[in-house]
Amino acid sequence: MNLPEKETLGWIGVGVMGLSMARRLMDAGHPLVVYSRTKAKASALLEAGAFWADSPAEVASKTRTLFTMVGYPSDVEAIFLEGKSIVQSLLPDSLVIDMTTTKPSLAQKIAAVIEENGSFFLDAPVSGGDVGAREGTLSIMVGGAETAFQRARPFFTILGKNIIHQGSPGAGQHTKMCNQIVIAGTMIGVCESLLYAKKAGLNLEAMLSSISKGAAGCWTLDHLAPRIMKRNFDPGFFIDHFIKDMSIALEESAKLGISLPGLALVHQLYLAVKAQGHGKSGTQALMLGLEKLSSVSQ
């Protein structure tokens, strides 16, 4: 592999959001070494000039700044700590930025191991969905050392507009749990309002024009309510991944000794939607589950 002389970034994981985020870094002039479990998913990046690596360890061995955005905590643990891992392959003074939504305790564990080896780690989950990933308007919640955060900031500005250092390792993940708790409650509210409006015979577009400019205004109304109205349930963020996030939030809340009954309810509703075969649909497919409940109750 013949790499350019200028710094080359590493990127591991090219899902719905990761692909667009990686492409933004390339479009900003950063050569990229990329790995994904399914090479075909990286084809657009490879066609644009990215270099392919055969493993996460190879990415780590060829770049001093690398990003990871994979699916589940088990995936994060595997690429960082198991077998021939990222940690074992890091170059000296590397900066590793995990943008996966995962467990705060896992972020703290990885940060400790990486820092013991003379490199730096940030947990930096994001919010903004597929739209934010494409347009570079994500909200990025960062945990880790201040020096590492400042080193990563130029790259974050390519990916997002709201970039906030939340504190020590794991703080980014805790903040993302707060984000997902709000989204869970907002999503059920948006879906139920559309269901109510339809049954009441309202013009849905007119209704949304009114409430989206008042106190109910939010990202979900602006971006996902129109998709629901068009019966577009393609993923901006998978239901499977949202269930994972809510499960982490419920687990963390139990550790903190608090009860989140609203989150628990929405979690159960999403599990029902997944059982209907919609795990790979977007989170707005909660509407399908509520519609089914409504028809059963009539």
pLDDT (mean) for 242-269? 97
Model pTM above 0.75: yes
Per-residue pLDDT tens over the stretch 91-117: 999 999 999 999 999 999 999 999 998
pLDDT (mean) for 126-141? 95
pLDDT at residue 294, as a whole number? 85
- CB 183: neighbour CB atoms within 10 A? 22
Mean pLDDT score across all residues of the chain: 95
d(CA 206, CA 258): 40
Exactly one of 6, 62, 103, 176 is catalytic; name it.
Answer: 176
Domains of the chain: 9-168 (3.40.50.720), 174-297 (1.10.1040.10)
pLDDT at residue 297, as a whole number? 52
Which one, of 178, 118, 126, lies nearest residue 145 by Cα?
A: 118
- Burial of 272 by CB count in 10 Å (0-12 exposed, 13-18 middle, 19+ buried)? middle
DSSP 16: H
Per-residue pLDDT tens over the stretch 144-157: 999 999 999 999 99
Annotated catalytic residue 176: yes
Per-residue pLDDT tens over the stretch 15-48: 989 999 999 999 999 999 999 999 999 999 999 9
Read off the pLDDT band of 3 (50, 70, 90).
very low
pLDDT (mean) for 192-221? 96
pLDDT at residue 83, as a whole number? 87
